[in-house]
Structure 1
Amino acid sequence: MRYTISATVFLAILIVVRLRRRTEARSRVDEAVTVFTAVVFGVLIAATAWGRAILQLVGVAVDATH
């Protein structure tokens, strides 16, 4: 039996692990790496059906506030 993991799932796990760390222990480089990882995660998830559903939900929320 072979197990596979997608890059999106790996990045989601990495982001959760990195954000659980204490804020005081982070350097500027560490914060930049976390932001870069989150941006790459956003780009990867945007092309999926789940990403489009999130985009629609955010659009509805924005329309409701204006």
Structure 2
Amino acid sequence: MLTINVAVLLAFIVVMRLRRRTQARSRMDEKFTVVIVLALGVLIAPTDLGQGILNVLTQLVQGISDAH
């Protein structure tokens, strides 16, 4: 039995959609890509990977705000 992780599938779809030329995208196509990316974010957020990304981004933002 073949099982596919939904987050991996969505990540693959996002990469394939973003590889297309910008001129070839319609407004509806761009909205669909945004929805897919949001769904991917919701799936990744509670995982260890999502928490790691959050920690890295938090440190980056703190570093930038401390520099000012």
Q: TM above 0.5, one fold?
A: yes
Query: Which segments of 5 or more consecutive residues in structure 1 lack a partner in the other structure?
Result: none
Give the ranges of 4+ consecutive aligned residues of structure 1 lying more than 6 Å apart after TM superposition: none
Q: TM-score, normalised by structure 2?
A: 0.92
Give the whole-Å Cα distance in 2 for the aligned partners of 1:12 and 1:47.
16
Give the whole-Å Cα distance in 2 for the aligned partners of 1:64 and 1:25.
38
1:26-41 matches, within 5 Å, as: 26-41=25-40
Cα deviation, residue 3, structure 1: 2.8
Residues 6-62 of structure 1: CA deviation (Å, up to 9, x unaligned): 100000000000000010011000000000000000010001011001000000000
Counterpart amino acid of residue 18 in structure 1: R
Pairs aligned (count): 65
Q: TM-score, normalised by structure 1?
A: 0.94
Q: Give 2:58's aligned residue.
A: 59
Q: Secondary structure at the match of 1:4?
A: coil
How much is the aligned-residue C-alpha RMSD, in angstroms?
0.6
Identity between Structure 1 and Structure 2 (%): 46
Give the whole-Å Cα distance in 2 for the aligned partners of 1:3 and 1:62.
40
1:1-66 matches, within 5 Å, as: 2-66=1-65
